[in-house]
């Protein structure tokens, strides 16, 4: 039997007439659903040709005391099985180090990845260069070093570095995929691969990409586990999601299919169908497969940084939202991307305020031996 159970319950009588879109379709006549979807404004019929061009639906959001709890569906063993499957993959030693826009042509940028300092800059053709972040001369951290025609100069004494390196400083393999930058480091248990395992993305010229980064006190697996628990969406993020249904019949330990409404307000939303999957051990991807924005993706990458002053692990969550639509009007959204991107980043940061609470709490309980999963 499928567990396609809605995470939102029917409003009570005191809430007035029951909007058909808040009730599982199996409990109401299909003709009622059709009439509801044919009206953007209650009581006002809308031609099908116009209605098909409007992705917004009237989906009133019930109060928490009228929502269906999801704790029985969010089985610890099911989430654990999906996490085990994700961690069994080979990441090839590849780590996300930030957004493509983080590294310019005029100065270097350093990152700490898995306890190792890494410096990034661009060569004379704009290609990404990466290598050990400490100068081999006297150990200077080579952050914000000047770059001229692809050559970086250490700020302490002017030692020059180019993409070829030498016997004292050898570059790492690095990739700029157009949205994110990656570096390959020798990693125990991971067989090196020629390139990172990039998930399918919408065409770059026709999409809008925005990236946020947020550090947390946890391990990468805690970040991935958070995303492998979609059942928390309607409860923990009611400002963003509602009417969330995990399709168990179409899901397994390698992917989860979810029907969910992205909230625009307490009355209006955009229903979509999304797929969650993990292309490597430190990445989980949500891809919209039906509904508005089909082909859009949200990539969540968890990069271990090292330990903080108290010896606790730190992880950088880098999330890339790549929005896409084949609607002609989306060209205007691309034109307005300087305004749209900050809005996307603000939404992502708001979600991660909550989700970091989840991930950090999971890590804390694991360390105490008290985590129930």
What are the pLDDT digits (tens) for 141-176?
999 999 999 999 999 999 999 999 999 999 999 999
Predicted confidence band at 4 (pLDDT cuts at 50, 70, 90)? very low
The confidence score (pLDDT) of residue 34 equals 36
More confidently predicted of 60 and 311: 311
Residue that is written with structure tokens 């790549």 in the block:
322
User: Does position 281 have pLDDT exceeding 80, yes or no?
Assistant: yes
User: Does position 1 have pLDDT exceeding 70, yes or no?
Assistant: no
- Give the neighbor-by-neighbor strand order of the sheet with 116-122: 109-113, 116-122, 128-132
- CA dist 283 and 196 (Å) reads 11
Is residue 338 classed as helix, strand or coil in its secondary structure? Answer: helix
Predicted confidence band at 125 (pLDDT cuts at 50, 70, 90)? very high
Q: What is the percent of the chain where pLDDT is above 70?
A: 85
Residue ranges per structural domain of the chain: 13-66, 76-89+197-368, 94-184
- Model pLDDT for residues 235-269, shown as the tens digit of each residue: 999 999 999 999 999 999 999 999 999 998 888 89
The confidence score (pLDDT) of residue 45 equals 54
The confidence score (pLDDT) of residue 339 equals 82
User: Does position 306 have pLDDT exceeding 80, yes or no?
Assistant: yes
Mean pLDDT of 28-57: 48
For residue 33, what are its two tokens? 């659903």
User: Does position 294 have pLDDT exceeding 60, yes or no?
Assistant: yes
- Model pLDDT for residues 73-82, shown as the tens digit of each residue: 999 999 999 9
The confidence score (pLDDT) of residue 326 equals 84
Alpha-carbon distances of 20 from 31, 73, 114, 320, 372, rounded to whole Å = 11, 24, 51, 35, 37
The confidence score (pLDDT) of residue 37 equals 43
Is residue 105 classed as helix, strand or coil in its secondary structure? Answer: coil
More confidently predicted of 53 and 93: 93
Same topology, domains 76-89+197-368 and 94-184? Answer is no
Q: What is the percent of the chain where pLDDT is above 90?
A: 71
User: Does position 22 have pLDDT exceeding 50, yes or no?
Assistant: no
Q: Give the architecture-level CATH label for domain 94-184.
A: 3-layer Sandwich (2.102)
User: Does position 52 have pLDDT exceeding 70, yes or no?
Assistant: no
Residues contacting residue 48 through CB under 8 Å, at least 6 positions apart: 38
Alpha-carbon distances of 242 from 97, 196, 245, 248, 260, rounded to whole Å = 32, 33, 9, 18, 6
Mean pLDDT of 44-57: 57
CATH number for the domain running over 76-89+197-368: 3.30.530.20
Mean pLDDT of 206-220: 96
The confidence score (pLDDT) of residue 340 equals 82
The confidence score (pLDDT) of residue 371 equals 94
User: Does position 217 have pLDDT exceeding 90, yes or no?
Assistant: yes
Mean pLDDT of 343-349: 90
Under 8 Å between Cβ of 51 and 38: yes
């Amino acid at each position: 039997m499928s567990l396609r159970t809605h995470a939102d319950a029917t409003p009570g009588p005191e809430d007035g007439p029951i909007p058909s879109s808040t009730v599982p379709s199996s409990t109401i006549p299909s003709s009622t659903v059709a009439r509801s979807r044919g009206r953007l404004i209650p009581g006002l019929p809308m031609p099908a040709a116009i209605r098909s061009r409007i992705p917004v639906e009237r989906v009133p959001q019930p109060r928490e005391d009228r929502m269906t709890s999801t704790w029985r569906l969010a089985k610890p063993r099911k989430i654990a099985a999906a996490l085990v499957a994700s961690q069994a993959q080979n990441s090839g030693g590849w780590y996300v180090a930030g957004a493509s826009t983080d590294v310019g042509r005029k100065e270097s940028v350093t990152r700490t990845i898995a306890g190792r300092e890494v410096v990034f800059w661009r060569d004379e053709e704009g290609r990404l260069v990466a290598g050990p972040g400490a100068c081999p001369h006297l150990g200077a951290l080579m952050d914000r070093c000047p770059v001229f025609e692809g050559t970086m100069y250490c700020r302490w004494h002017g030692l020059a570095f180019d993409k070829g390196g030498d016997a004292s400083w050898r570059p790492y393999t690095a990739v700029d995929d157009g949205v994110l930058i990656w570096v390959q480091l020798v990693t125990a248990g991971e067989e090196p691969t020629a390139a990172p395992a990039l998930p399918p993305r919408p065409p770059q010229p026709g999409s809008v990409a925005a990236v946020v980064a947020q550090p947390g006190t946890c391990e990468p697996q805690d970040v991935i586990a958070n995303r492998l628990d979609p059942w928390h969406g309607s409860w923990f993020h009611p400002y963003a999601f509602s009417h969330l249904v995990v399709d168990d019949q179409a899901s397994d330990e390698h992917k989860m299919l979810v029907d969910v409404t992205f909230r625009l307000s307490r009355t209006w939303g955009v229903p979509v169908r999304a797929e969650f999957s993990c292309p490597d051990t430190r990445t989980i991807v949500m891809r919209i497969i039906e509904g508005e924005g089909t082909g859009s993706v949200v990539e969540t990458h968890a990069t271990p940084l090292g330990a903080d002053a108290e010896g606790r692990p730190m992880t950088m969550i880098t999330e890339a939202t790549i929005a896409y639509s084949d609607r002609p009007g989306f060209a205007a959204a691309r034109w307005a991307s300087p305004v749209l991107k900050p809005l996307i980043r603000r939404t992502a940061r708001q979600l991660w305020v909550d989700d970091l609470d989840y991930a950090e709490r999971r890590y804390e309980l694991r360390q105490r031996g008290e985590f129930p999963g």
